[in-house]
Structure 1
Amino acid sequence: MEALFYIAPLLIIAIVSLGAAAVIRRSRQVNSAWSSGLTAQARCLRTYTTTSGGGDTMVSTTLHHVYEFTTYQGGTVRFEERNGPGTILEGDIVTVYYAADHPERATAHAPARGKLAAGAGCALAFFGVIVVFCLGFMLVAHEMFRVGGDLP
């Protein structure tokens, strides 16, 4: 029974750590695309939405765009991006930013480093609070089991 009070928080910490790594990775990819100085004109091939939740939980809708562009080296790249502006429709031409070594990680979001840092920072702070809570929970559980008491 004691193991449950250690395994569950450790599992949550592992999942949160994966989420934090994903946030950091995507932030670095977008920043790299913006910093490269390479841009291209891309056509929006498709827009669609996905929904999640329902039942007893809040429904969340995410807007997706599929873009295609030609790199300065002549290669054609198609990529999908989430959370783009709702004003971009199929057939629209937009400017995309990409890094020469990974054009498939392009972004159609206009450079906004402060917004990117704030979003990533808030997500990481949220993840940090969850980790601290889990560690605190494990510490309290450890102390309760060490002194022979029961958890409330």
Structure 2
Amino acid sequence: MVIAVVYLVVSLGASVICGRLLDRQLKGPQLRAAWAEGLTAEARCTAVRTEEGQDAEGGLVTHRYPTLEFRTADGRTVSFEERQSRHVPAEGEFVTVHYSARNPEGATTRAASFGMLHARALITGVGAVLSVAIASTLALVI
């Protein structure tokens, strides 16, 4: 029984840590801040930077990062490189960006999604459910 309790405590802690780390890796806090205020603007793509690299199998992968420029509600012009977008606009093309008044440089073209809004809670919750299930099994077996 003690082993099951120790496992439960350690695995719940690991679930919380993994949830936080994955959320940060996916830029969750920055994206949620951009979506929270509901501010949007039309941004123009001023340039597209191309970067080449290798994937896990050693194959060549090309990444394209657009530089977008928009005007905030208070009239400030902001330019940023979008690294989260699935769609790369052509130079001169307009796209909608979501931004926060406190940090307009953290803008994104990605629309809010349930998964990104709740990524930390989902990962932590799944880990907690698995932890309880495995700890319960350990307690019954041992």
TMscore range, shorter length: 0.5 to 0.7
1:111 partner letter = A
Shift of 1:27: 1.0
Paired-residue identity, %:
36
One-letter amino acid of the structure 2 residue matched with residue 43 of structure 1 = R
Aligned length: 106
* AA at the equivalent of 1:47: V
Answer 1 or 2: which has greater strand percent. Answer: 1
1:35 Cα offset (Å): 1.5
Question: 1:22, CA displacement in angstroms?
Answer: 8.0
SS at match of 1:41: strand
| CA distances 1:57-107 after superposition (whole Å, capped 9, x unpaired) | 233322201000000001000000125234521111111000000000000
TM-score, normalised with respect to structure 1:
0.56
SS at match of 1:104: helix
Q: Between the two structures, name the one with larger relative contact order (CA 8 Å, sep ≥ 6).
A: 2
**Structure 2 gap segments, 5+ residues each:** 1-17, 125-142
Determine helix, strand or coil for the equivalent of 1:57.
coil
Structure 1 pair 72–82 and aligned structure 2 pair: CA distance change class (3 A): same
1:27-66 residue pairs with structure 2 within 5 A?
Answer: 27-53=28-54, 57-66=58-67
Distance 1:24 1:52, change over 3 A: closer
Q: Distance in 2 between matches of 1:94 and 1:71?
A: 14
CA RMSD of aligned residues (A): 3.3
